[in-house]
Structure 1
Amino acid sequence: MATFQDFNFKLVVVEQMMYIDETLTPQFCLADLLKDKGLSDAPWEYAQQRGLAYQVVPEARSYFASLEISEELLADVEELCMDGGNQVYQECAPVWDGEDDLFDVASLDDLVLLPNLRRVLGSEFLGPELRNVLSARGIVAD
């Protein structure tokens, strides 16, 4: 199984595989997890009541940090989309407005895990240095 160095980059990959392509299953749903644990029926309320607004809920962080993704599945990823409205972000931080750096990707060292990546949408969120890394690898940065 692949090991990611940048948690936020992993989330971008999970967004593509789990919520867009639906090749990584089952889809994670924070509401279901909290309900199954008897913690809450509403992730938004859960986060607010525990002072977790604008933070990744620990249960979601734990799930995604330990989520194993095979190299075979990663080889199928050809495109990623970076957008503050990504479903994975709502599952991680139900009280988040996209106005801070909570999910900013700090490193693209994990690109080696995506041998067939050809395009990154929303790459303006990466900044010039990281966009240059994409270009140097022949990845279209839209």
Structure 2
Amino acid sequence: MTQFKDFNFKLVVIEQLMYIDEKLTPQFRLADLLRERGLGDDPWEYAYQHGLEYKVVPEARDHFESLEISNELLAEVEELCMDGGNRIYQECAPVWDGEDDLFDIASLDDLAKLPNLRRVLGSEFLGPGFQDDLRVRGIVAD
């Protein structure tokens, strides 16, 4: 199993593979997981009832932390998109407005897991040092 050092980087990779390319299946829906566990079916309501506003819901974190992604799938990733509107963020933290650092990427150590990554959209959200790291690796930092 491929271990990621940065959970938030893994989320961006999952966004690409699960919600954009639809190659990593089944697609995760927090509402479905809550319903399966008898915890209701409204992620917003669940977050508010459990003091999880602007936080990652533990059940979502557990799911994505344990989600295995094959090296073959990782090798298919050619582009990533850094955007506060990514669906994965809604599934992790349904009451999140993008106004804090909850999903900021702290490390690019996991780039080596994506040998065919060619482009990162929204790279300005990574900060100038990280943008330089991408360019040095020959990755377009849009």
Q: Normalising by the residue count of structure 2, what TM-score does the alignment of the two structures yield?
A: 0.99
Q: Deviation above 6 Å: which 4+ runs of structure 1?
A: none
SS, match of residue 32 in structure 1: helix
Give the equivalent residue in structure 2 for 1:9.
Answer: 9
CA–CA distance in structure 2, aligned partners of residues 4 and 127 of structure 1: 20
Give the equivalent residue in structure 1 for 2:111.
Answer: 111
Give the equivalent residue in structure 1 for 2:66.
Answer: 66
Give the equivalent residue in structure 2 for 1:101.
Answer: 101
Structure 2 unaligned spans of 5+: none
Give the equivalent residue in structure 2 for 1:129.
Answer: 129
1:10-49 aligned at under 5 Å gives the runs: 10-49=10-49
SS, match of residue 120 in structure 2: strand
Structure 1 unaligned spans of 5+: none
State the aligned residue count: 142
CA–CA distance in structure 2, aligned partners of residues 41 and 10 of structure 1: 26
Q: Normalising by the residue count of structure 1, what TM-score does the alignment of the two structures yield?
A: 0.99
Q: What is the RMSD of the two structures over their aligned residues, measured on CA atoms? A: 0.4
Letter in 2 for 1:109: D
CA–CA distance in structure 1, aligned partners of residues 93 and 131 of structure 2: 26
CA–CA distance in structure 2, aligned partners of residues 15 and 108 of structure 1: 17
CA–CA distance in structure 2, aligned partners of residues 131 and 52 of structure 1: 32
SS, match of residue 95 in structure 2: coil
